[in-house]
Amino acid sequence: MQLRWYFDFVSPFSYLHWHRLQALPQFARIEPVPIVFGAVLRERGIRGPAEIPHKRVFTYRQALWQARGDGVAMRFPPAHPFSPLAALRLCIAAGTTPRAITAVFDHIWRDGHDGSDANGLAAVAAALGIDDVAAAIAEPAVKARLQANTDAALAAGVFGVPTLDIDGELFWGNDMHGLMRAVLDDPRLLHDGEMARLAALPEGIARS
């Protein structure tokens, strides 16, 4: 079973789902893939929830409510949405390890710090053994890896974050964790009865 988890540090739901993923028995087999969510939205021609009036505040409250329900500490950063490029590149420069992912997520979403530039990320970078964060996130190889990750996500059909790819089947969102667990435990779930029929369900109408 191939497992890839696509995420972006700009997403509070990615932060929440990271906590849930670590409790899975399959966690060690999951490959975390940092991507640029904004590039996915642009390619798909859709707007993010934080870009839609009224939905923005609703989404923030939903995330905080989910965090409280899960017992996960959450404090929003100084501004949102923010550019996550520096945070994503720092994660890659640090090896995209669970420790690095947790450190960056906690810095932004647990402690409420700025994660939009090298200055804001200096403390977490130092904790990860990176003294010159500006140089690390400017490395051509780091930038290329982030671009390749995002291209791979688009090729896989990813349309949002967080997304868990289970052998080519995409599961989007922290609130879909229950379904993800069910399919991890029984991959045949998607191929039986009504679940199987949905894959070929025709469109009754399409907006022009």
**What range does the domain containing 38 cover?**
3-198
For 26, how many CA atoms within 13 A lie in the half-sphere containing its CB? 18
Beta carbons within 8 Å of 183's beta carbon, 6+ residues apart: 166, 169, 171, 189, 190
* Residue 39 falls inside a structural domain: yes
pLDDT of 207 reads 80
The CATH number given to whatever domain includes residue 90 is 3.40.30.10
Torsion of Cα atoms, 9 then 10 then 15 then 16, to 10°: -160
pLDDT of 208 reads 73
Domains in the chain: how many in total?
A: 1
Q: pTM above the 0.75 mark?
A: yes
* Residue 170 falls inside a structural domain: yes
Query: pLDDT tens, position by position, for the chain (208 residues)?
Result: 899 999 999 999 999 999 999 999 999 999 999 999 999 999 999 999 999 999 999 999 999 999 999 999 999 999 999 999 999 999 999 999 999 999 999 999 999 999 999 999 999 999 999 999 999 999 999 999 999 999 999 999 999 999 999 999 999 999 999 999 999 999 999 998 999 999 999 999 988 7
